[in-house]
Structure 1
Amino acid sequence: MKEPAQDLKIQLKRTAEEYKLLFEQVPCYVVVIDKEFKIVRANKLASDMIKNLKGEYCYSALKGRKEKCIECTARRTFEDGMQHTGHHIWKLSNQGTLNMHVITGPLKNEDGNYDLVMEMAVDISKTVKLQDNLEVAHNYLESLINTSMDGIIGISKKGKVEVFNSAARSLFDIGQGQIVSLEDINTMLPKGFLAQVSEGKGHVYLPEAELKRSNGDKFYGRLIGNKLMGSKETIGMAFSVHDISQMKKLEKEKIEAERMAIVGQTVAGLAHGIKNLINALDGGIYFLKSGIGKGDIKRIHKGIETLVRNIERIRLFSKAFLNYSRFRAITPALNNPADIVTEVVESFAAKISENNIKIKLQVDPQLALVPLDYEKIHECVTNLVGNAIDAFADVDKDRDKKIWVTAYEEEGAIYIEVKDNGCGIDKDHRKRLFNKFFTTKGLEGTGLGLLMTQKIIQEHGGNISVLSKKGEGSIFRLRLIRGRLPKISD
């Protein structure tokens, strides 16, 4: 049997070898420092990185310093015998540097005293670099958000307002130190918009939204809401607000200018129409007088026919202009444009059949209700369909007469189109369609139908356009922008 002392000696030797192996192979840099801050031992990883460590001062060998470090963790451990951690920068022999997370602890004897400290260091250079890059990215994004001219709002998954940039504070009249809550955001944005973004997928876009400042004042903005998604779940919401109040003001001024222009065109057209009628009456009187003077019955009849024809024209002209000048203010209510277009087409059924015309009606079944004057828009569409029917008056009888009437919505605007393959309008006449009492229908027309249509559409904040080619047909298009439609009175 082995002696107990021999067994203990073997066990101690084995333990020493294990500790030595652990010291050398541990995956971090390990050095042992004495009270003079000299390195008395270093493991393989530390020795391979920095040569000739043993016997050198730690602050000199590891950090290239001539004096002790103020932030030295080893010194703090020598002072109180406790473990300490810190962030040190080691300088390598190749002029490179490493960011180290350092832990120091005392190497105590059996009696509890110690004169050595073990320092273990882990290279966190990649982590520090990544952290620096993240900080740069964060600062960049923060600067981008804060300097944006658009209001940027960010809401976390838990409903906390995490981002509310300077532009947003200016738009909604919120002080820099004032905290903004989810309830505040819900009040500022259009009713139901927050829930629509939260419950939807992707982004929600409102080209013209009515928003509310903290003091209750309203303004118009272009609003985008996004539901933010992580890899598997929702992480929050983001909103962008662009102030379009100035643009709305300019649009209103433009519409008003267009309305005033129509008034001017009306006066000019009236003067032009009256002048033409006076000339026509003068011609009739001339034939009548000269016929009486010469006793020429045919000439007298011609003068009377001319007077009668133009007096009838005066009657039609006066009636149409009176209706135009008495134009009542529009009274908007929620209506479906598809219903109006369908009713107009149905009202022309007999006339279309009599003239052997094929008409195709196509309306978008998804058209939503919009605020407009049903009767006035009905009048506009009636004018356009009536003009399309009249466009076949002078075409070849063998032509396959067709009219297409469509109603649809695209990018926040309602479109009503009336297309025909009739006689078309030449370039000179197209220029005169909307600025004078101009008609191509002779005695049958007054030239006020399209002016009336234009005025009604402008009262609704929209516009009318025409595409036409002589001999091939025309397309008249009404455009009603949702954001510019009149408000319904309470």
Structure 2
Amino acid sequence: MQELSLSDWLATELFERVPSNIAVLDREFRVVKANRNFVDAFGPCQGRHCYEIYRDDRHPCSSCQAALTFADGKRRVSEEQRRNRDGRYSHYVVHFEPIQLGENETHYILEMSRDVTATRLLQREHDIVFDRTPCYIAVLDRDMRIVRNNELFRKTFGESIGKRCYEIYQQQNELCEDCPARQTFHDRQVHSAYKLGRNKEGENIYYYVTTAPLSRGENEPSHVIEMALDMTMTRMLEQQLRLAFDFQESLIHSAIDGIIAVDGEGKINICNPSAKKMFKCMGENMIGQKITDRFVPHEFLDIVEGKGSCRELKETVAYDCDGEAFPVRFAGVALQSGDKHVGSAAFFQDLREIKQLELEKLEAERLAAVGQTVAGLAHGIKNVLMGLDGGMYVVSSGMKKDDKELTRKGWEMLKSNIERITSYVKDFLNFARGRSTLEVRPVDPNWIVREVVNLYKDVAEQAGILLIAEFQENINPANLDAEGIHTCLTNLVSNAIDACEMSEKMDCKVIVRSIERDDTLVFEVQDDGCGMDYEVKQKVFTTFFSTKEVSKGTGLGLLVTRRIAQEHGGKVEFDSVEGKGSVFRLVFPKKRLPALSDSPS
């Protein structure tokens, strides 16, 4: 077989081997020759007009590039949409090459087209991604000029093509010292940086910029692409969060109450200076430790373990690092983030100073009352002495006259006034005693009530008064000075019996109750005697004030009762209606009762 020469191969084979759609058009726009690729793309075409093939039309295109090439003999390139043999339109890049068989006249046109539909689709997707990406994108040349940017960039910084990046971002005339784009041009690596710039309105914008090289195989990149994420809102939120954190940290640090917070695992992560001082511990040593009842009340551990959301104790006991107990007011709360338990916080108010002030106040009140009592006692004893003088005179007169009746009368006067002096002195001594007389031990409140009722039962019965004891079942023992509470109840029961005797009612009764409710112990003495009017109620705790006969009362009983109640951390309350009766209550919050260790030896 004879081998083809190169010229023969080019003449016979090249037309078919070129990977493009090739057709030759005459001046009537008819296809006079086409290669296999063209036929495969557009179907049989010999002798058909090009506009019939590409557009299924009967008339030439108004902007026909082939017609222009026939007219001026110049080669052309255009991008067109053409219908292929299966009826779908595709994008083609078309080259028009004039074929001149004579001088200055184009007889045919060689038309070469290549399907670029897939390329154009990729380009379109790229353009959409480039333009719609929610960050600022710009392409820079080596002179730092912006050659392309996306929609968000233009919206934020304005028209910037041809301008240098630092003129747009920083609104300055010099390159930034730490410019990541310059570093990328230098080492062809990706670089990032946090930057502060300005938008087209001159407002500050915080952004995080990343630069990457763009090249077509050159040793040095010809362009750099910059992608910047707007961090302005994030930075504002960070600043607001920092302000809120600093504010809360300052509150916690400067709080006079001790604050301890634990995480969801019960480990201490906050211990403010007041808590460090209160617990005599270095805060650093406590941080990270598991919270235990070594420091805090067990009620807080319940919150830490998810057994409650909040708890408040007006008075309880905490322990410092030396194991020493001290009184505190406590509040605990569970910390939530949505439905998730993230930790717990405890707040402690050190009550040691308050307790000391209460003791000092009680002592001051007692001493002040003692002063008032001494003054009143002197006046009372003066009256008694006058009575003694009168009695002595009557006795002397009776003896001189040998008048036994007169002598007996004088002796009765002496006896009565001696009893008054004894009563004065006893009540005064009882009132003047301080807290040092307390002997605290666990006592059954019902037992004290029973003892007092048994003591006065005969006295009440002789006066025609019904004395009743009402006990609450299963009442818990309490830390009390039994003798002191006994004295209080005897004073109140005695007053109640006297009030019934002063009443005009025929059937009176006195009820003594022991009640435990809301972690509070209450002793109650109720009578349906004469009651008190407004004026008497205002003077009920006044030294030496009494509504009884001169020979029966000193006016110190309720003062003694109030003093003993206060020494137990309690108080005296009363309600009274004139003509209907009175109710006196000894109210003792159990958290404030004296501890056994407070009892003197």
Which TM-score band (shorter chain)?
0.7 to 0.9
For residues 440 and 271 of structure 2, the distance between their equivalents in structure 1, rounded to whole angstroms, comes to: 37
Q: 1:388 aligns with which of 496, 520, 545?
A: 496
- CA drift of 1:17 comes to 3.1
Which residue of 2 is the match for residue 376 of structure 1? 484
For residues 168 and 262 of structure 1, the distance between their equivalents in structure 2, rounded to whole angstroms, comes to: 39
- CA drift of 1:60 comes to 0.8
For residues 40 and 448 of structure 1, the distance between their equivalents in structure 2, rounded to whole angstroms, comes to: 102
Q: 1:188 aligns with which of 295, 298, 307?
A: 295
Q: 1:305 aligns with which of 409, 415, 420?
A: 409
Which amino acid in structure 2 is aligned with residue 203 of structure 1?
A: C
Name whichever of 276-285 and 438-447 sits farther off. Answer: 438-447
Name whichever of 415-424 and 60-69 sits farther off. Answer: 415-424
- CA drift of 1:436 comes to 3.9
- Contact in 1 for aligned 2:397/2:406 (Cα 8 Å): no
- CA drift of 1:183 comes to 5.0
For residues 430 and 365 of structure 1, the distance between their equivalents in structure 2, rounded to whole angstroms, comes to: 36
Change (3 A) 1:447 1:93: closer
1:286 correspondence with 2:393: yes
Change (3 A) 1:396 1:74: same
- CA drift of 1:87 comes to 2.4
**More relative contact order in 1 or in 2 (CA 8 Å, sep 6+)?**
1
For residues 314 and 351 of structure 2, the distance between their equivalents in structure 1, rounded to whole angstroms, comes to: 9
- SS of residue in 1 equivalent to 2:437: coil
1:80 correspondence with 2:187: yes
- CA drift of 1:96 comes to 2.4
- Contact in 1 for aligned 2:188/2:220 (Cα 8 Å): no
Q: Which runs of 5+ in 2 are unaligned?
A: 1-35, 42-111
- CA drift of 1:238 comes to 0.9
Matches within 5 A, 1:386-465: 386-398=494-506, 401-403=508-510, 405=512, 414-424=521-531, 427=535, 431=539, 435-436=543-544, 440-441=548-549, 443=551, 449-450=557-558, 452-464=560-572
What TM-score do the two structures reach when normalised by structure 2?
A: 0.68
- CA drift of 1:357 comes to 4.9
**Cα distance per residue 1:135-184 (max 9 Å; x no partner):** 21111111222222222222111223222222323333444765535357
1:161 correspondence with 2:265: no
1:49 correspondence with 2:153: no
Matches within 5 A, 1:185-334: 186-190=293-297, 192-199=298-305, 200-215=307-322, 219-261=326-368, 264=371, 271-272=378-379, 274-290=381-397, 301-308=405-412, 310-311=414-415, 314-315=418-419, 318=422, 321=425, 325=429, 329-334=437-442
- SS of residue in 2 equivalent to 1:120: strand
**Cα distance per residue 1:272-325 (max 9 Å; x no partner):** 554444333333343444456667x6xx52551342364156358638856985
Q: Which runs of 5+ in 1 are unaligned?
A: none
Which residue of 2 is the match for residue 149 of structure 1? 256
1:478 correspondence with 2:586: yes
Which amino acid in structure 2 is aligned with residue 195 of structure 1?
A: L
**Cα distance per residue 1:425-460 (max 9 Å; x no partner):** 574797486634967145455666445534543543
- SS of residue in 1 equivalent to 2:487: helix
- Contact in 1 for aligned 2:546/2:554 (Cα 8 Å): yes
For residues 471 and 172 of structure 2, the distance between their equivalents in structure 1, rounded to whole angstroms, comes to: 83
Which amino acid in structure 2 is aligned with residue 286 of structure 1?
A: Y
For residues 200 and 366 of structure 2, the distance between their equivalents in structure 1, rounded to whole angstroms, comes to: 83
Q: 2:141 aligns with which of 26, 34, 40?
A: 34
% identity of equivalent residues: 32
For residues 18 and 450 of structure 1, the distance between their equivalents in structure 2, rounded to whole angstroms, comes to: 96
Which amino acid in structure 2 is aligned with residue 331 of structure 1?
A: E
- CA drift of 1:107 comes to 2.0
Name whichever of 111-120 and 154-163 sits farther off. Answer: 111-120
For residues 76 and 254 of structure 1, the distance between their equivalents in structure 2, rounded to whole angstroms, comes to: 77
Which amino acid in structure 1 is aligned with residue 304 of structure 2?
A: S
Which residue of 1 is the match for residue 238 of structure 2? 131
Which amino acid in structure 2 is aligned with residue 194 of structure 1?
A: F
For residues 377 and 371 of structure 2, the distance between their equivalents in structure 1, rounded to whole angstroms, comes to: 10
Which amino acid in structure 1 is aligned with residue 222 of structure 2?
A: D
- Contact in 2 for aligned 1:420/1:474 (Cα 8 Å): yes
Which amino acid in structure 2 is aligned with residue 307 of structure 1?
A: W
- Contact in 2 for aligned 1:424/1:472 (Cα 8 Å): yes
Which residue of 1 is the match for residue 229 of structure 2? 122
Q: 1:11 aligns with which of 118, 123, 129?
A: 118
Change (3 A) 1:93 1:309: same
Larger Rg over CA atoms: 2
For residues 325 and 180 of structure 1, the distance between their equivalents in structure 2, rounded to whole angstroms, comes to: 54
What TM-score do the two structures reach when normalised by structure 1?
A: 0.82
Which residue of 2 is the match for residue 172 of structure 1? 279
For residues 428 and 140 of structure 1, the distance between their equivalents in structure 2, rounded to whole angstroms, comes to: 55
- Contact in 2 for aligned 1:434/1:454 (Cα 8 Å): no
Change (3 A) 1:338 1:155: farther
- CA drift of 1:488 comes to 0.8
Which amino acid in structure 2 is aligned with residue 308 of structure 1?
A: E
- Contact in 2 for aligned 1:439/1:446 (Cα 8 Å): no
Name whichever of 373-382 and 356-365 sits farther off. Answer: 356-365
For residues 385 and 179 of structure 2, the distance between their equivalents in structure 1, rounded to whole angstroms, comes to: 109
Measured on the aligned residues, the alpha-carbon RMSD in Å equals 4.0
Change (3 A) 1:369 1:196: farther
Which amino acid in structure 1 is aligned with residue 300 of structure 2?
A: L
1:105 correspondence with 2:212: yes
For residues 362 and 28 of structure 1, the distance between their equivalents in structure 2, rounded to whole angstroms, comes to: 82
- SS of residue in 1 equivalent to 2:260: strand
- SS of residue in 1 equivalent to 2:500: coil
Change (3 A) 1:313 1:292: closer
Change (3 A) 1:438 1:359: closer
For residues 265 and 244 of structure 1, the distance between their equivalents in structure 2, rounded to whole angstroms, comes to: 31
Aligned length: 485
Change (3 A) 1:28 1:366: farther
- CA drift of 1:335 comes to 3.1
**Cα distance per residue 1:403-446 (max 9 Å; x no partner):** 45555578976443434342345747974866349671454556
- Contact in 1 for aligned 2:531/2:576 (Cα 8 Å): yes
- Contact in 2 for aligned 1:265/1:436 (Cα 8 Å): no
